[in-house]
Amino acid sequence: MKTQVAIVGAGPAGMLLSEILHHHGIDSVVVERQSRDYVQARIRAGVLEQTTVDMLRQYGLSARMDQEGHAHDGMKIVWAGRSEFFIDVHKHVGKRFVAYGQTSIQEDLFAAADRRNARVIFNAGEVALHGVDTDAPSVSLELDGRRVTIECDYIAGCDGFHGVSRRAIPADVLKEFEKIYPFGWLGILTPQPPLPDIVYANHPRGFALASMRSPTLSRYYIQVPLDTNIEDWPDARFWSELKARFPAGMAASIVEGPSIEKSIAPLRSYVAEPMSYGRLFLAGDAAHIVPPTGAKGLNLAFSDVHYLSRALDHRYRTGSPDLLASYSETALRRVWHSVRTSWYLTNLLHRFPSSTAFDQRAQEYELDFLKSSPSAQVALAEQYAGLPLEHT
């Protein structure tokens, strides 16, 4: 098989890249290790920055999001039952964010791929990258017992944190930055009406978050120790622990229901530099991971895809590889700002086992300052809403 761009991974990054390249007349083949149903069934993020909404709209992928997505002016922070405040992102920076599930985005991306008869290979085994530092790279894979090789001009590594692409960058070239947090998030999905706002709770018992996927689908999380077993958390225990972490009035308005999804995710911050090597370009979780506190993972994947698709279009239209050469540096600027913001919010809102009484007071007065200082809220609003995509 031959193509211009071989894309490894059919998650949000890989499928959006394939869609945008198609719009620019650039041919691609997507190679995915799992089945389509498996990829579709993943339940992950749910908050879209304005830049993500704009990208989906620009490429004709926003019809369902406009119908079912829920635009928010801001989010609430409550802490220690003491106090609550609303950060009005729209008032501070003139942007909104949209609650719309990644699962829905994945469906929309697959439906768009079907409409254009995109070449997406599912259930690909033993995927391997070859010649990434040559002018003739390729991707090989096992398919129905046969070895297939895809010759291409460029490879986009969109295969997530556990993929193979990042490993194609030599160890003496790759620099890795990582922080592992001493807790995880236990999350559930329940077919009940959510609270009106996204609410972050800092409580002596631990962090909690109230969010949504639609007017009839709620998403909740509580911070749990790393060694937590999901079997120890029947729904009844989850609901009582969740409500214990919100002020009584707010807890009383949380509508309990059966969990249709329940899982524990560990929290880490991770960045791999550079995000490119020869003809290989990493995008999304293949290059970076953020703790979900800032709702940045999906949005960062899409900003990488914005820069990479722009660079590839520039290359094929003008012959100039300049934007490809600067892709890593450009993408990493926005990556690190999102990574830092996610780290800041994780430190601000969670209870750390190693925290001293001093650390605890300092955290509470940081929250107090955020509540009382409009300029502190503008700074957070600017980052939470998402920095502009650079058009340099």
Instruction: For residue 160, state whether it binds ligand APR (rule: CB under 6 A).
Output: yes
CB of 238 to ligand PHB, least distance (A): 15
Residue 194, binding choice from ligand APR, ligand PHB, none, Cβ under 5 to 8 Å by partner class: none
Annotation says 72 is catalytic? yes
> What 3-state DSSP class applies to 128?
strand
How many distinct helices (H) and strands (E) make up the chain?
13, 20
Question: Chain-centre distance of CA 139, in angstroms?
Answer: 26
For every residue of 159-198, DSSP letters joined together read --TTSSSGGGS-TTT-EEEEEEEEEEEEEEEESSPPPSSE
Instruction: For residue 109, state whether it binds ligand APR (rule: CB under 6 A).
Output: no
Q: What is the 3-state secondary structure (H, E, C) of 140-166?
A: EEEECCEEEEEECCEEEECCCCCCCCH
Contact set for ligand APR, span 299-338 (CB under 6 A): 301
Instruction: For residue 45, state whether it binds ligand PHB (rule: CB under 6 A).
Output: yes
Instruction: For residue 272, state whether it binds ligand APR (rule: CB under 6 A).
Output: no
Residue 46, binding choice from ligand PHB, ligand APR, none, Cβ under 5 to 8 Å by partner class: ligand PHB
Task: Take residue 30 and report the two structure tokens written for it.
Answer: 């997507």
Q: Which residue is nearest to ligand PHB (CB)?
A: 211
Report the residue from 5, 6, 31, 311 that binds ligand APR according to the rule CB under 6 A: 31
Task: Take residue 129 and report the two structure tokens written for it.
Answer: 């990258």
Bridge partners (DSSP) of residue 83 are 79
Instruction: For residue 50, state whether it binds ligand PHB (rule: CB under 6 A).
Output: no
Number of C-beta neighbours around residue 82 at 10 A: 13
Task: Take residue 93 and report the two structure tokens written for it.
Answer: 């920076």
The nearer residue to ligand PHB, 206 or 294, going by C-beta atoms, is 294
The widest CA-to-CA distance across the chain, in whole angstroms, is 64
The one segment of 111-119, 292-300, 321-329, 360-368 that binds ligand PHB by CB under 6 A = 292-300
The nearer residue to ligand APR, 18 or 383, going by C-beta atoms, is 18
Bridge partners (DSSP) of residue 87 are 75
Residue numbers of the site for ligand APR (CB under 6 A)? Answer: 8-14, 31-34, 39, 44-45, 102, 124, 127, 158-160, 162-164, 284-285, 297-298, 301
Active site residues: 72, 200, 292, 296, 384
Residues in contact with ligand PHB by the rule CB under 6 A:
45-47, 198, 209, 211, 219, 292-295
